[in-house]
Amino acid sequence: GQSLEQPSEVTAVEGAIVQINCTYQTSGFYGLSWYQQHDGGAPTFLSYNALDGLEETGRFSSFLSRSDSYGYLLLQELQMKDSASYFCAVRAADSGYSTLTFGKGTMLLVSP
Amino acid sequence: DTEVTQTPKHLVMGMTNKKSLKCEQHMGHRAMYWYKQKAKKPPELMFVYSYEKLSINESVPSRFSPECPNSSLLNLHLHALQPEDSALYLCASSQAGAQETQYFGPGTRLLVL
């Protein structure tokens, strides 16, 4: 099976930088994904790391260390619209098929 | 185009009703998924279809019955549901490979009375 740990809540102010950490335990690991979900909405794909290192997409960056079973999502120049839940998700092999297992989610609250 | 569509957006049903949720994608994806999400919780995988064949059933009760009529469509038939089945039901799709990104539809918010 898989398990993931991420903080339940993070608060920050507009313009700041915030890092959301994720540690995982899994077998058959393929990679770590990040999804954003606004209240009442669907999860939206943000990023995916299969190899160690940093991936940058605009204001968002994601990092993975496979040896440490650890990753993080970095959000820069925070905006009010970034207030949402952020899920890390492990992509792993399950009976020969790739599945996603989600962490419990981190609620990010951005204040003015 | 990374759009997955789901209908209906909202559904209220009684415990004796039969209803169906529908999901459609036109991205040429060959893997489709049903997830269930309760409030303040992460999505939980229910079913995976790969090349129109059911490949994973995560011990879901038989009152949920998935169907994949073709590579673009995925249905979830509901019968004799319980109030605790009230949740957001999310459909997702991806290319059929271990590294492929899953794209989610907007979900159907289901209330069972």
Q: What is the DSSP string of B52-73?
A: TEEEEE-S--TTEEEEEEETTE
A95 has a pLDDT exceeding 60: no
Separation of alpha carbons A108 and B89, rounded Å: 23
A42/B107 Cβ within 8 A: yes
Q: Among A5, A102, A104, A106, which would you mutate to test the B interface (most chain B Cβ atoms within 10 Å of its Cβ)?
A: A102
Which residues does chain B have with pLDDT short of 50? none
A93/B100 Cβ within 8 A: no
**pLDDT of res. B1:** 57
Closest-CA distance, A70 to chain B, in angstroms, reads 18
E strand or H helix that includes residue B12: strand B10-13
- Identify the contact set of chain B against chain A, taking CB-CB distances under 8 A: 31, 40-45, 48, 50, 55-56, 90, 97-107
Separation of alpha carbons B26 and A91, rounded Å: 23
Q: Using an 8 Å CB-CB cutoff, list chain B residues near A95.
A: 55-56
Closest-CA distance, A86 to chain B, in angstroms, reads 10
**pLDDT of res. A45:** 93
A96 has a pLDDT exceeding 60: no
Q: Does A51 touch chain B (CB under 8 A)?
A: no
- Give the pLDDT mean for A49-61: 94
- Reference B75, options B13, B7, B11; nearest CA is B7
**pLDDT of res. A52:** 97
Residues 6+ apart with CB under 8 A from A46: A33, A34, A35, A36, A57, A60, A62, A73, A86
B106/A91 Cβ within 8 A: no
Other beta carbons less than 10 A from residue A95's beta carbon: 9
Other beta carbons less than 10 A from residue B51's beta carbon: 10
DSSP code at position A16: -
**pLDDT of res. B101:** 86
Q: Using an 8 Å CB-CB cutoff, list chain B residues near A105.
A: 40-42
Which tokens sit at B22? 């529908």
Other beta carbons less than 10 A from residue A76's beta carbon: 15
Rg (CA), chain B: 13
Nearest to B43 among A43, A45, A98 (CB): A43
Which tokens sit at A66? 């496979």
Q: Kindly report, residue by residue over A3-50, the tens digit of the pLDDT.
A: 899 999 999 999 999 999 999 998 878 899 999 999 989 999 999 999
Tokens 């993975």 locate to A64
**pLDDT of res. A53:** 97
**pLDDT of res. A11:** 97
Tokens 């209803």 locate to B19
**pLDDT of res. B98:** 63
Regarding predicted confidence, which is higher, B49 or A2?
Answer: B49
Separation of alpha carbons B54 and B23, rounded Å: 15
Other beta carbons less than 10 A from residue B95's beta carbon: 13
**pLDDT of res. B59:** 86
Residue A91: band (very low, low, confident or very high) from pLDDT cuts 50, 70, 90: confident
A93 has a pLDDT exceeding 60: yes
